Copies of this chain bind each other. A is one copy, B any other.
């Protein structure tokens, strides 16, 4: 292990990025604009103002500024838990006996347990700056809810978190953690909103979905004074904030002259993947690299690999603007899968466009294979990975074994977006062999597709 590249690469404070990377600026073929669901015209900042903070609306609609300065206060916020390490997976390489070099960017050391704090911080900051007093949001696996609870605890804002019911049951202590930071947590669907009541009336036993929880959170935000809604994935301003991951990674690897051949990330709404790849994809779009990019999603919720590219609502109650994306339909409710953070019907529009245009590959994995990869990884690299992040581990191991087969010394980089401390029920199920793989049938998919709006742009 006397390689010149250290096991953990950290940046100094001076080296830390001062700009977010807005990938859309590099795209010749931009993602289609977000549409107002009533007029079917591109949304304006005013359209979005009742729901979102002004600071993020500006970022959401900006598809031309490549580098957006990170405000000093947010740089301070980032310094409280960043930089995160880029780790050379020497032990994993040795176990796999692969000629490939494997690196991962580990975002799980902050208390939210994931990359989610990278956007929760800025969103809390803008809310506070604009004089709001409370926020609402949804959470699936619980990382985003925890991150927002941390941010609101820090900025002194009230927070209501609608937590996908199946996750709240699988992760009882997540609720306690959010509450410890001062948040109010409601299992979704709930009886506290009209959209929740409607979903419960249709299916009283539903485990919920991110789409349902989003509807409830938006409804409450719009009805409450000095309150707005914040989202932890899917939207472009979230990917913008998450580009801190890719920015740091690129600076760290550049210091050692390392150029990834393959970059892998798990994909639910796309925030972690989009953040990690941003500057690297920028190079590819300008013709300066041949890097392959791979999105990994659960077979139980395959929006890339089995979805449609269409305008769809971001939520189940059809209250959001329409986004052109890879989608299983806003009415698609995935079977219970432990990777709660990947149970979303749609996908960020930038990543969807890159996928359609051939810049981004995608694959889906069943969860037993994903947990098998997680266990292999944790025994040699030490870190307990989140089930979501373990999708990326699975693909990284497969690519490294492919290198072994072909005798190729490729450089593989993957995003280890979070830790699995609140996923021990899932690990228990895997170890006790009671975990099953739930893949939607064609009829399930058709039911989902039927909920995609029947508008001219979707013909």
State the A residues within 8 Å of B (CB): 1, 6-8, 10, 12-13, 76, 79-83, 90-91, 109-111, 113, 117, 150, 153-154, 172-173, 176-177, 179-182, 375, 378-384, 419, 421-422, 424-425, 427-428, 431
For A425, the chain B residues whose CB sits under 8 A away are 173, 176
- With A79-B7, A79-B8, A421-B422 known as contacts, the answer to whether A180 contacts B380 (CB < 8 A) is no
Q: Which residues of B contact A431 (CB under 8 A)?
A: 176, 179-180
B111/A378 in contact, CB under 8 A: yes
CB distance from A169 to the nearest CB of B (A): 15
A111 touches B12 (CB 8 A): no
> How many angstroms from the CA of A244 to the CA of B83 in the assembled complex?
22
Q: Flag if A379 contacts B111 (CB, 8 Å).
A: no
- A180 proximity list for chain B (CB < 8 A): 375, 378, 384, 424, 427, 431
A sample of 27 inter-chain contacts (CB < 8 A) reads: A7-B79, A8-B79, A8-B83, A10-B10, A80-B91, A81-B383, A91-B154, A109-B109, A110-B382, A111-B384, A150-B382, A154-B379, A154-B382, A172-B424, A173-B424, A173-B425, A176-B424, A176-B425, A176-B427, A176-B428, A176-B431, A177-B384, A177-B427, A180-B375, A180-B424, A421-B421, A421-B422
Contact partners of A176 in chain B: CB under 8 A: 424-425, 427-428, 431
Cα(A419)–Cα(B81), bound, Å: 14
Residues of B close to A109: CB separation below 8 A: 109
Give the oligomeric copy count.
2
Chain B residues, CB < 8 A from A181: 378-379
Question: Of all chain B residues, which has the CB nearest A384?
Answer: B111
Asked if A6 and B10 sit within 8 Å, CB to CB, the answer is: no
Q: Which among A7, A113, A384 has the highest number of chain B CB atoms within 10 Å?
A: A384
Nearest B residue (CB) for A87: B80
Q: How far is the CB of A255 from chain B (nearest CB, A)?
A: 11
Least CB distance, A11 to chain B, in whole angstroms? 9
Find chain B residues with CB under 8 A from A428 CB. Answer: 176, 179
CA distance in complex: A179, B419 (Å): 17
Tell me which residues across on chain B come within 8 A of A82, comparing CB atoms. Answer: 8
Min C-beta distance of A53 to chain B, whole Å: 21
In contact, A12 and B1 (Cβ under 8 angstroms): no
- For A12, list chain B residues within 8 Å (CB): 6
Residues in chain B near residue A76, CB distance under 8 A: 1
> Which of A110, A117, A153, A421 has the most chain B CB atoms closer than 10 A to its own CB?
A421
Give the 9 A-B residue pairs with the shortest CB-CB distance, closest first. A173-B424, A176-B424, A109-B109, A421-B421, A7-B79, A6-B13, A153-B379, A111-B384, A176-B428
Residues of B within 8 A of A384 (CB): 111, 177, 180
**Are A111 and B177 interface neighbours, CB within 8 A?**
no
Please measure, in the bound complex, the distance between the C-alpha atom of A111 and the C-alpha atom of B379, giving whole angstroms.
11
In the assembled complex, how far is the CB of residue A118 from the closest CB belonging to chain B, in whole angstroms? Answer: 13
Which residues of B sit under 8 angstroms from A111, Cβ to Cβ?
Answer: 378, 382-384, 419
Residues on B with beta carbons closer than 8 Å to the beta carbon of A427? 176-177, 180
A177 to chain B: which residues have CB within 8 Å?
Answer: 384, 421, 424, 427
In the complex, which residue of chain B has the Cβ closest to the Cβ of A419?
B111
**A382 close to B81 (CB less than 8 A):** yes
A423 to chain B, nearest CB (A): 9
List 6 other contacts, CB 8 Å, given A1-B76, A117-B382, A182-B379: A153-B378, A176-B424, A176-B427, A180-B427, A181-B379, A421-B422
List of B residues within 8 angstroms of A113 by Cβ = 421
Give the complex CA separation of A103 and B70 in angstroms: 26
Complex contacts, A150 vs chain B, CB 8 Å: 382
Please indicate the chain B residues that have their CB under 8 angstroms from the CB of A375 in the complex: 180
Give the Cβ gap from A147 to chain B, nearest Cβ, in Å: 10
A431 to B83, CA, bound (A): 32
Residue of B with least CB distance to A81: B382
A282 CB → nearest B CB, Å: 28
- Bound state CA distance, A422 and B384, in angstroms? 14
